Structure 1
Amino acid sequence: MSNIQLIIEERAADIGKFLVGRLLPFRQKRMIGPFIYLDHMGPVKLNAREQMDILPHPHIGLSTLTFLFEGSIMHRDTLGNAVEIRPGAVNWMTAGKGIVHSERTPDHLRDSELTMHGLQIWVALPKELEQMEPEFFHIEAQQLPAWEEEGLQWKLVAGEVLGHRSPVPVYSPLYMLEIKSSKRQTINLEGKLFGESGLYILKGGIESEGNRFGPKQILVAKEASLCEFIIEADSTIYIFGGEPFPEERFIDWNFVATDKELIQKAKEKWAAQEFEKIPGDEEEYVPYPSFRKK
């Protein structure tokens, strides 16, 4: 019997100047554990006339995880943080009751050609924490747990699993693992994962029960504890998931909540421009698409 419950293919999604590969949410699977949103950005080449300028926009009820493979992003937020995100580092921003941030090409790279490539992820907060005070943490690449075993390079981007714990301060039981292979071999994670689990193929491929799967797909496991597959040589995959929440999550634009009223209030607050402003980035903002007041 196959342990693959669902296969999710990347779908093109327009986020302004960029088309990204949208993986979550999916109509048949809105979340995998606490993971509620996953975009594969790029790779896209920007010349000196093109810039990444995602204007100030708000979030509630979630943590964002930005993880780059190539390129650089200047993150600014209403807590006063101004941090350049480079490949391998983790930007972890917890919106809680509300935060605003912008993501732009750093000034020192605006006259250069630049390739942007990475993952943009949202992790929903537990119900009791969805209105917490906002927080921001930046974890450098060398701070993430990394180890090698029999031709496999492992990295724990977030969470706790396999006897390792990432310094990313998550708020529910979850994991996001990076695995890179130098040779074809079997990976057996039986009994080592928990909750719900998804496997995202960035590069190369895997084989499971006689079937091959290639890049830009998420394989959703029926049972996370029964995870065994063959990874091809020169492949990069991500395994992510964790304990699902008992309550449904609603998502509207950049807002996530267990209560639609919280989302409505956030929409009205953003339309009235009553969120705090980003120091040094106050002039422009992304309007709520087709705002309709109740």
Structure 2
Amino acid sequence: MSWLPDNDPVLGDVKSCDALELVIVPRTRDLGDGFAVRRALPHGRRQMVGPFIFFDHFGPVQFMSGKGMDVRPHPHIGLATVTYLFDGSIMHRGSEGNVREIQPGAMNLMTAGRGIAHSERTPDLQRQNGQKMLGLQSWIALPAGSEEIAPSFQHYAAADLPVVSDGGITARIIAGSSFGVKSPVAMVSPWFYAEVTAEQGVSVPLDADHEERAIYLVDGEVEISNERYEGPRLLIFRPGDRITVKAAKPTRMMFLGGDALEGPRHIWWNFVSSSKERIEQAKQDWKTGRFAAVPNEHEFIPLPE
């Protein structure tokens, strides 16, 4: 998916819990055909949580028969994309020749490094029948020394990711380590990502070992230090504190974060880099056709003016 900066005011909830550093109310965008996106990162007061530099919550949307998502080929540098679905499916096609249908609960990690292009479309069968879509897309900024690595692709079906289930909590470990278990996904820097569902009244611990941590409330409501927060919200916590959140109603949330990068990043369209000059080069590379093409795709998103 593509990103362009906007001029929205900085919005956040009032918070009283000392462990909470920031509460972000995602900004809503309608990308057409009723396809709603809620953007939590980047934010005016916080660019990243660990290496997470972009966080979009899309849907729920019901595509009718014959309709669907059509994100034409577009480029990335300096980041890895994570697409995670709760409902629906997306067909990923990449310039490295990877073709994969992303289904709910699967981990889809595309590392752009020095440059990659891909498209994201509704698969033919789902387009014919119509489908409900709900999911998340995140960008993971690559650390210094790894921004120009070779592009790569990893995909793990939901059944191949570890799941912890105990006492009203179910957690799928998408990347990194949480709840005492580790995902098989290979990473170039330490970060973690987990889908957590909790029944009403159940308390869930957030690991204090990670340097930067946040919880994205997809739906439901949690209580922290006698304060309640309802989804969608991104709750960013201070380092080191032991955190426990209590589900005030059945809740679905994402635990995320990791080691802070060594410095901020520049973002323009789909490009992330520690160097403004590198982004200018990427602009010219896309404009002049120097990115590798996505096989069997005959259109693309032009460079924004």
Bucket of the pairwise TM-score, normalised by the shorter protein: over 0.9
Most deviating of 96-105 and 269-278: 269-278
Partner SS state of residue 101, structure 1: strand
Q: 1:118 aligns with which of 135, 139, 147?
A: 135
**Corresponding position of 2:125:** 108
**Corresponding position of 1:219:** 235
**Corresponding position of 1:229:** 245
How many residue pairs get matched? 288
Task: Quote the sequence identity (%).
Answer: 39
**Corresponding position of 1:289:** 304
User: Contact 1:72–1:116 at 8 Å: present in 2 too?
Assistant: yes
Rounded to whole Å, the distance in 2 between the matches of 1:15 and 1:250 is 24
User: Contact 1:190–1:225 at 8 Å: present in 2 too?
Assistant: no
Most deviating of 252-261 and 13-22: 13-22
Partner SS state of residue 293, structure 2: coil
Partner SS state of residue 128, structure 1: coil
**Corresponding position of 1:245:** 261
Most deviating of 25-34 and 109-118: 109-118
For residues 177-227 of structure 1, the C-alpha deviation after alignment (integer angstroms, 9 at most, x for no partner) is 221112312223464x31111111112110111111001100111235421
Q: Over the residues paired in the alignment, what is the CA RMSD in angstroms?
A: 1.4
Rounded to whole Å, the distance in 2 between the matches of 1:77 and 1:190 is 34
**Corresponding position of 2:145:** 128
The TM-score normalised by the length of structure 2 is: 0.91
**Corresponding position of 2:8:** none
- Judged with a 3 Å threshold, the aligned counterparts in structure 2 of structure 1 residues 21 and 275 are, in CA distance, closer, same or farther, namely same
Counterpart of 2:205, as a letter, is N
- Is 2:294 the counterpart of 1:271? no
User: Contact 2:19–2:241 at 8 Å: present in 1 too?
Assistant: no
**Corresponding position of 1:88:** 105
For residues 130-171 of structure 1, the C-alpha deviation after alignment (integer angstroms, 9 at most, x for no partner) is 100000111100111101122111111111233311112221
**Corresponding position of 1:210:** 226
Partner SS state of residue 111, structure 1: helix
User: Contact 1:178–1:238 at 8 Å: present in 2 too?
Assistant: yes
Q: 1:259 aligns with which of 251, 272, 275?
A: 275
Most deviating of 8-17 and 152-161: 8-17
The TM-score normalised by the length of structure 1 is: 0.94
User: Contact 2:222–2:249 at 8 Å: present in 1 too?
Assistant: no
State the Cα distance separating 1:14 from its structure 2 match: 4.8
State the Cα distance separating 1:261 from its structure 2 match: 0.8
Gaps of 5+ in 1: none
Counterpart of 1:35, as a letter, is F
Rounded to whole Å, the distance in 2 between the matches of 1:188 and 1:161 is 10
- Is 2:211 the counterpart of 1:178? no
State the Cα distance separating 1:79 from its structure 2 match: 0.6
Partner SS state of residue 67, structure 2: coil
- Judged with a 3 Å threshold, the aligned counterparts in structure 2 of structure 1 residues 194 and 272 are, in CA distance, closer, same or farther, namely same
Rounded to whole Å, the distance in 2 between the matches of 1:270 and 1:224 is 42
- Judged with a 3 Å threshold, the aligned counterparts in structure 2 of structure 1 residues 190 and 128 are, in CA distance, closer, same or farther, namely closer
Rounded to whole Å, the distance in 2 between the matches of 1:190 and 1:31 is 18
- Is 2:174 the counterpart of 1:157? yes
Rounded to whole Å, the distance in 1 between the matches of 2:220 and 2:22 is 20
State the Cα distance separating 1:16 from its structure 2 match: 5.8
Rounded to whole Å, the distance in 2 between the matches of 1:104 and 1:224 is 41
Partner SS state of residue 128, structure 2: coil
Most deviating of 152-161 and 51-60: 152-161
**Corresponding position of 1:31:** 48
Counterpart of 2:248, as a letter, is E
User: Contact 1:160–1:173 at 8 Å: present in 2 too?
Assistant: no
Partner SS state of residue 272, structure 2: strand
Rounded to whole Å, the distance in 2 between the matches of 1:220 and 1:253 is 25
Counterpart of 1:287, as a letter, is P
Counterpart of 1:25, as a letter, is P
Query: 1:41-80 maps to which residues of 2 (within 5 A)?
Result: 41-80=58-97
Rounded to whole Å, the distance in 1 between the matches of 2:283 and 2:32 is 20
Counterpart of 1:59, as a letter, is H
